Amino acid sequence: MTVILRSEELTKIYETGEVSVVALRDASFEIEEGEFIVVLGPSGSGKSTLLNILGGMDRPTSGRLYYRDAPIHEATARQLTLYRRKAVGFVFQFYNLLPNLTASENIRLAAELVDKPLDVKDLLEDLALIEKADNFPAQLSGGQQQRIAIARAAVKNPDILLCDEPTGALDFATGLQVLKLLQLLNRKLGKTVMIITHNQAMAGIADRVFHLKDGRIETITVNAQPVDPEEIVW
Amino acid sequence: MVMLWRKLLRDLRENWGANLACVAVIALGIMTFNGYHMVVDNLDSARLRFYESCRFADGFASVKQMPASELSRLEAIDGIDQVQGHLRQDVTVYMPDWGQNLTLRLSAIDPEDTTALNQVLQSQGPGIHDESNEVLLGIGFAKAHDLQAGDSFDIIYQGKKQQLTIAGTGQSPEFIYLLPDSGSFFSDPARFDVAFMTTAALEDLTGHEGLVNEIAFTLRPGTDFHQIENQAAEILEPYGLTTLVAAKDQISNFMLDQEIAGVKTMSNAIPALFIGIAALILYLMLRRMVEQQRIQIGTLMAFGFGNLQIISHYSFYGGFIGVAGAAAGAIVGTLLSGAMTELYKMYFNLPDLVNQISWRYALYGLAFAAVPCLFAAFLGARNILRLEPAQAMQPPTPKRTRRLLIERIKILWEPLGMMGRMALRNLFRNPGRSFFTIIGTTFAFAMMWFIFSYNLMIDLMIMNQLEKAQKYDLKITLTQPADAQELVQSLLRMEGTDQAEPLMYAPVTLRQGPYAEETSITGVPDGSQLLKILDKGEQVIALPPEGLVLSKNLAGKLHTEVGQLIYVESPFRSEPTQVYVTAIVEQYFGMENFMSLEQLGQMLGTGEAATAAMVKTRGDPYTLDRLEEKLLLAKGVSGVENKAAIKKMYVDLMAPMNFAIYTMTLVGVFTAFAVIYSSGTVSLSERQREISSSKVLGMTDGEIMRMLVMENGVLTTLGILAGVPTTKAMMLYMQQQFATELYSLPTRLDPMGFVQSMLGIGAALALSMMAIMRRIRRLELSEVLKTRE
């Protein structure tokens, strides 16, 4: 297996006035292509900071991050933009669809960023959302919006999908659908998926689980037998 | 980036009200830009064509009279090429139906001479065939009196009536803009125009055979007017030289130049103001928009949209509005230039004045509007780029609300109530935007008050003079001085005369130290009932029994003050004499100096002589007309001035201004509306949550409205207050720009205009509050409170 992301002692310190807050401390790990990772931790444990740095949304205060040997920690703003464009797809807790673009337009917005996007119509069909294609986000349920958001992340055909509490705003059944979708993308298309959550129950579906506390990766556990989302309960 | 464009269009549509206001403000600016620039081009090119085809001269001189044979002496001056002299004579037109003074300037021409200077362009009729009574009449006069080729009318010259026949209409490059003299204010071709007749015919009419009083000449290439000025003046001086000017100072050309220069200045200044306002609106709008779309922007960044793509997206929002405004403005501007060109046809005798549409200005206008708008939007949006994408995804840190100074003053703060306090705090929450509302209101208010003060200005300059100072009905001027008492007696004997008083106009040179000015002194009888002296256009002051009342303008030039002795030189006296300055009066129109008639006579040694007289009639128009006619035909009378007719002339001339006042008021109200509404919309979007929460808590729409009105009321009141000195400054600037030897504009602000402008701002405030209220009513409470901010 190829290592897709390599993190060496990543540290992020926020300076606010005279107070400095260490949000992430010496995070070192490797993620292989096609892995399904769940990052677990209570709020304030540094999950989002880690995700943001891995996704090129924020810069580490110190430490090194490599995407397929490319040093992301040294990247210029322009290189970071290209990294986000080509390598990463984001899924957010509150979907963040652009409110005045329709479902399909939101997906096409992302598709226009890359040379070889997936087919928007195929994606909508796969997600069983074809009949909602022309609806605006406000006309969709939370689960539908999140599925569109996942399609929007996937359409660029990125190597890595980074998901920030993707089921956090959804009820159990809808959340389950979203997780199944992510697993499908992981298994069928070989995407590396990283989900951050405070929901312990989700640990079961991951290949590996990172446990974060106070900005530190306390342990990394390996699931020999990841389960299907249907088998977990929360 | 099709989708991003689609988002742009939908963003634009969502905020259509404020956008439309902004587009309209830009359109007003670009309309002026396009319209005025095209008008300038139209006037300029029509003038150039006319000057070239009719051979407009390079220099002009007027003398009292001079033998035509002397012209060759001018031709001999090195640098002068062609010289041409002719006779010119003002005559009174006798049209009893009009019951007023009409003057024609008869100008001699040689219709056969194709090399002549200032040729007349004939536009109607068979033309002159050397018949002694045939004229080519000015188009304006012909039109105003509905005269056609073949028609005849009477003129009065030296008390004799004569008939002239119209052989057509004509225009000369010398008379594009017609003014009776350099002291006149407006062209009015119905009452003063030119007519052309052959030299032989005019010589016959006036008896001035072989004489000329108007000279035109051309200069050889490379010669400057100033090089020949002194030599020419030397030759002409003995013949009573009155003016010697280069083409650029020739009165008609000068007036046209002034007009073109004025329009040119406006053509850039006005658009700059409007586009400045629009740019400010856009800046505020975009600043708010990126705050509002912060998460969206973060999302775009997360997906790999670059900074350039994002900033362009928001800058284009401004650019799009700029382009839309410029396009609308270009279309309306073309219409405006058409309308203005038509209007100028009424005032300027330019045969080939046509509206030429120039796409060049549409393009310049596009750049003029789009670039600042694009830039303003860029400035408004650029803050968001300072954030790392991860920060952009987070809601902004709440702004620190500091306690206001007034909050510490309990006596003021406590009675404000919750709503008043919220209103006041909001004003300080975004001082930049509050400031913008104030400035916008100031501008709109000043624009309105400035234009509303026009009526007072005209009152002070003209109407008060006619109503408060000149209490007579008719004023006659004599061909030569006469005994004052005899003159009054003979006037009183005429039927219809109620009162008569003599006047003496004495040409003098006043000297004080090294300063000297040629002017005239008006001798007024002590305790005159028919002529009062006005100071500052409205205060009647008594004529001092002793000494000289000097106009402020002249006093300034002579560096003199009340109580000083100055020298008076007069053709009536060989020795200069001295007189005390006893009063100085400020006059806006004309420069008149007064003395007691008796004293003036004593000083000049003329006794009680008079060169003019004022007559008050018993009042009915019939008697007045009869008397006027009798006086016109009386021997020794060179002119009769009918005050009512003059007043009517001014009233007629002012009429188009009412339309301008009306238009400017609308523009002012609209500008204020656009400013208050757009900053109100921005403020509303910022406070949707707060307002929705208040509604949920049970605050009524009316109560919310009251808070908003209170806020904006405070801002507009401040704007109005700042508008007072701004209007004054605008008036002072205008006074400085337009002051001439003969008039200066009063800068008094009209209190009535203040009230009117305030009402205008009030209307704008009410309209914008109503529009904002509509948005508040439509706020979806649940939606607003659900969204994350």
Mean pLDDT by groups of 10 residues along chain A of 234 residues? 93 87 94 96 92 93 95 93 94 91 94 93 87 92 92 94 91 89 91 93 94 94 91 79
Phi, psi angle pair for B47, to nearest 5°: -65, -45
Q: Which pLDDT tens digit goes with each residue over B108-132? A: 998 888 899 999 999 888 988 876 7
Cα separation of A224 and A209, whole Å? 11
Are B393 and A110 within 8 A, CB to CB? Answer: no
- Range B465-502 burial, b when 16+ CB lie within 10 A, else e: bbeebbbbbbbbebeebbebeebbebbeeeebbebbbb
- What tens digit of pLDDT does each residue of B167-207 get? 999 999 999 998 776 556 677 788 889 999 999 999 999 99
CB B691 within 8 A of CB B775: no
The 10s digit of each residue's pLDDT in B518-570 is 888 999 999 899 999 988 888 888 888 889 999 988 898 899 999 999 999 88
Find, in chain B, the residue whose alpha carbon is nearest to that of A110.
B303
Tokens of B643: 């005050």
Q: Where are the beta strands (DSSP E) in B378-496?
A: 474-483
Residue in chain B nearest A158 by alpha carbon = B303
Contact B405, B651 (CB under 8 A): no
Amino acid at the residue B35: G
User: Do A55 and B298 count as a contact with CB atoms less than 8 A apart?
Assistant: no
CB spacing of B296 vs A96 below 8 angstroms? yes
B251-292 and B431-458 are packed helices; what angle lies between their axes, rounded to 10 degrees?
A: 160
H-type alpha helices, chain A: 47-54, 77-86, 103-111, 120-126, 142-154, 172-188
The 3-class SS string of B620-674 reads CHHHHHHHHHHHHCCCCEEEEEEHHHHHHHHHHHHHHHHHHHHHHHHHHHHHHHH
Distance of residue A77 Cα from the nearest chain B Cα, in angstroms: 9
Residue A228 lies in a domain: no
- Residue of chain B whose Cα is closest to the Cα of A83: B304
Looking at the complex, report in whole angstroms how far the Cα of residue B785 sits from the nearest Cα belonging to chain A. 14
Mean pLDDT of B354-366: 92
Residue given tokens 């996704």 in the structure block: A55
Q: Average of pLDDT values for B201-222?
A: 93
Query: Do A197 and A38 touch, CB atoms closer than 8 A?
Result: yes
Contact A57 B303 (CB under 8 A): no
Taking each helix axis from N to C end, the angle separating B417-429 and B701-738, rounded to the nearest 10 degrees, works out to 50
Contacts by A199-205 with C-beta closer than 8 Å and gap 24+? A199/A40, A199/A167, A199/A168, A199/A234, A200/A40, A200/A234, A201/A232, A201/A233, A201/A234, A202/A38, A202/A40, A202/A167, A202/A232, A202/A234, A203/A38, A203/A40, A204/A231, A204/A232, A205/A36, A205/A38, A205/A179, A205/A229, A205/A232
The answer to whether the Cβ–Cβ distance between B303 and A86 falls below 8 Å is no
Share of chain B above pLDDT 90, in %: 50
Nearest-Cα residue of chain B relative to residue A157: B303
Does B307 contact A77 at a Cβ distance shorter than 8 Å?
Answer: yes
CA torsion B409→B415→B416→B417, rounded to 10°? Answer: 130
Residue carrying structure tokens 């220069």 = B261
pLDDT, position B154: 92
Tell me if A131 is assigned to some domain: yes
Asked if B299 lies within 8 A of A108 by C-beta distance, the reply is no
- B740: confidence class by pLDDT, cuts 50, 70, 90: low
Determine contact, residues B587/B740, Cβ cutoff 8 Å. no
Q: How many CB atoms lie within 10 A of CB A17?
A: 5
Nearest-CA neighbor of B576 among B523, B525, B512, B524? B512
Considering only B383-387, B487-491, B554-558, B672-676, which range has the smallest mean pLDDT? Answer: B383-387
Q: A interface mutation test: which of B303, B308, B312, B400 has the most A CBs within 10 A?
A: B303
| A58 part of contact set with chain B, CB < 8 Å | yes
For A36, the enclosing helix (H) or strand (E) is strand A36-40
Query: Is residue A174 within 8 Å of residue A202, measured between CB atoms?
Result: no
Please tell me which residue of chain B has the smallest CA distance to A14.
B391
Query: Does residue B163 contact residue B139 with C-beta atoms inside 8 Å?
Result: no
B78, B66 contact by CB (below 8 A): no
Q: Any idea where the domains of chain B sit in the sequence?
A: 59-255, 430-470+644-789, 474-618
Residues in chain B with CB shorter than 8 Å from the CB of A92 are 299, 393
Contact between B278 and B373 under an 8 Å Cβ cutoff? The reply is: yes
- For B397-425, give one letter per residue: b (16+ CB within 10 A) or e: eeeeeeeeeeeeeeeebeeeeebebbbbb
Find which of B2, B3, B312, B397 to mutate to test the A interface (most A CBs within 10 Å of its CB). Answer: B3
Cβ <8 Å between B306 and A59: no
Residues whose CB is less than 8 angstroms from the CB of residue A53 and which lie 6 or more positions away in sequence, other chains included = A10, A12, A24, A59, A60, A65
pLDDT of residue B316: 95
Q: Would residue A46 count as lying in a domain?
A: no
Q: Report helix, strand or coil for A11.
A: strand
* pLDDT at residue B183, rounded to an integer: 56
Chain A hits for B7, Cβ within 8 Å:
98, 100-101, 109
- Put residue A48 in one of left, alpha, beta given phi > 0 → left and psi -120 to 50 → alpha: alpha
Token output for B723: 């508008």
Average pLDDT over every residue of B775-789: 69
Q: Which residue has the higher pLDDT, B250 or B189?
A: B250
Q: Does the CB of A169 have a partner CB in chain B at under 8 Å?
A: no
The shortest CB-CB distance from A101 to any of B3, B307, B783 is to B3
Chain A residue with CA closest to B297: the answer is A98
- Contact at CB, A88 and B304, closer than 8 angstroms: yes
Q: What is the pLDDT of residues B413-466, one digit of tens each?
A: 777 777 778 778 888 878 888 998 999 899 999 989 998 888 888 888 888 888
A152 contacts B304? CB cut-off 8 A: no
C-beta of residue A49 within 8 angstroms of C-beta of residue A212? no
Which residues of chain A are within 8 Å of residue B10 when distances are taken between CB atoms? 100-101
> Which residues of chain A are within 8 Å of residue B2 when distances are taken between CB atoms?
108, 112
Tokens of B548: 């000289």
Count of Cβ atoms closer than 10 Å to residue B135 Cβ: 27
| DSSP sequence for B666-724 | HHHHHHHHHHHHHHHHHHHHHHHHHHHHHHHHT--HHHHHHHHHHHHHHHHHHHHHHHH
As beta bridge partners, residue A192 has A160
Q: CB distance from A54 to chain B under 8 Å?
A: no
Q: Inter-chain contact B301–A100, Cβ cutoff 8 Å?
A: no
Sign of CA dihedral B243, B245, B247, B251: negative
Query: What pLDDT was estimated at residue B258?
Result: 84
Nearest of B589, B615, B604 to residue B548 by alpha carbon:
B604
Domain count, chain A: 1
| Residue of B6, B289, B299, B786 to mutate when probing chain A, most A C-beta within 10 A | B299
User: Mean pLDDT across the stretch B644-670?
Assistant: 83
With beta carbons under 8 A apart, name residues in chain A contacting B307.
77, 81
* Residue A35 covered by a domain: no
Output the six-digit token pair for B221.
């290439």
Token code pair at residue B83: 């010289």
A39/B735: higher pLDDT: A39
B388 and A108 within 8 Å at the Cβ level: the answer is: no
DSSP-assigned states of every residue in B265-281: HHHHHHHHHHHHHHHHH
Nearest to B6 among A77, A88, A105 (CB): A105
Ramachandran category for residue B556: left, alpha or beta (phi over 0 → left; psi -120 to 50 → alpha): alpha
Contact B389 A57 (CB under 8 A): yes
Shortest CA gap A177–chain B (Å):
23
Residue of B nearest to A85 (CA): B304
Residues B131 and B138: their CA atoms lie apart, in Å, by: 18
Q: Report the distance separating Cα A135 and Cα A121, nearest Å.
A: 14
Q: Which residues of A touch B304 (CB under 8 A)?
A: 81-86, 88, 113, 156
Domain with A126, as residue range(s), is 97-156
Tally of CB atoms within 10 A around B159: 14
Q: How far is B378 from chain A (nearest CA, A)?
A: 20
DSSP B131-190: -TTEEEEEHHHHHHTT--TT-EEEEEETTEEEEEEEEEEEE-GGGSS--SSTT-----TT
Q: Are B161 and B155 in contact (CB under 8 A)?
A: yes
10 Å CB burial of residue B16 (0-12, 13-18, 19+) is: exposed
**Residues of B near A (CB-CB distance < 8 A)?**
1-4, 6-7, 10-11, 14, 295-296, 298-299, 301-307, 388-391, 393, 783, 788
Residues whose CB is less than 8 angstroms from the CB of residue B174 and which lie 6 or more positions away in sequence, other chains included: B56, B57, B60, B107, B118, B216, B250, B252
Q: Which two tokens stand for residue B152?
A: 């005849």
**Contacting residues of A for B390, CB less than 8 Å apart:** 48, 52, 57-58
Which chain A positions have a beta carbon within 8 Å of B295's beta carbon?
A: 96
Sequence-separated (6 or more) residues with CB below 8 Å from residue B105: B88, B89, B90, B175, B178, B180, B192, B193, B194, B195
State residue B588 phi and psi, 5-degree precision.
-95, -25
Strands B637-642 and B593-596: unpaired
Asked whether B515 and B557 are in contact (CB, 8 A), the reply is: yes
Mean pLDDT confidence for B316-331: 96
Sort out which chain B residues have CB atoms less than 8 A from A47's CB and list them.
none
Check if A92 contacts B (Cβ < 8 Å). yes
H/E stretch holding B61 reads: strand B59-67
User: pLDDT-based confidence at B782, cuts 50/70/90?
Assistant: low
Chain A and chain B share a number of CB contacts under 8 A equal to: 83
What's the average model confidence in pLDDT over B245-257? 91
Nearest 5 degrees, angle CA B272-CA B278-CA B283?
Answer: 120
Asked if A100 and B389 come within 8 Å (Cβ–Cβ), the reply is no
Instruction: Give the gap in angstroms from C-alpha B678 to the nearest C-alpha of chain A.
Output: 21
Q: Is the pLDDT of residue B735 over 50?
A: yes
Which residues does chain B have within 8 Å of residue A78's beta carbon, measured at their own beta carbons? 306
- For the cut 50, the answer to whether the pLDDT of residue B789 exceeds it is no
Alpha-carbon span B633 to B158, nearest angstrom: 8
DSSP B613: E
In chain A, which residues have their Cβ closer than 8 Å to the Cβ of B317? none
From the list B12, B572, B586, the residue with the least C-alpha distance to B318 is: B12
Do the Cβ atoms of B785 and B696 come closer than 8 Å? Answer: yes
Taking contacts as CB-CB distances below 8 angstroms, the residues of chain A near B393 are 52, 57, 92, 96
Point out the least confidently predicted range of B304-313, B490-499, B682-691: B682-691
Instruction: For residue A109, give the nearest of B3, B295, B302 by CB distance.
Output: B3
Cross-chain Cβ contact A108/B3 below 8 Å: yes
Kindly tell me if the per-residue pLDDT of B399 is higher than 70.
no
d(CA B629, CA B571) in angstroms, rounded, equals 33
Q: Exposure of B129 by Cβ count < 10 A (0-12 exposed, 13-18 middle, 19+ buried)?
A: exposed
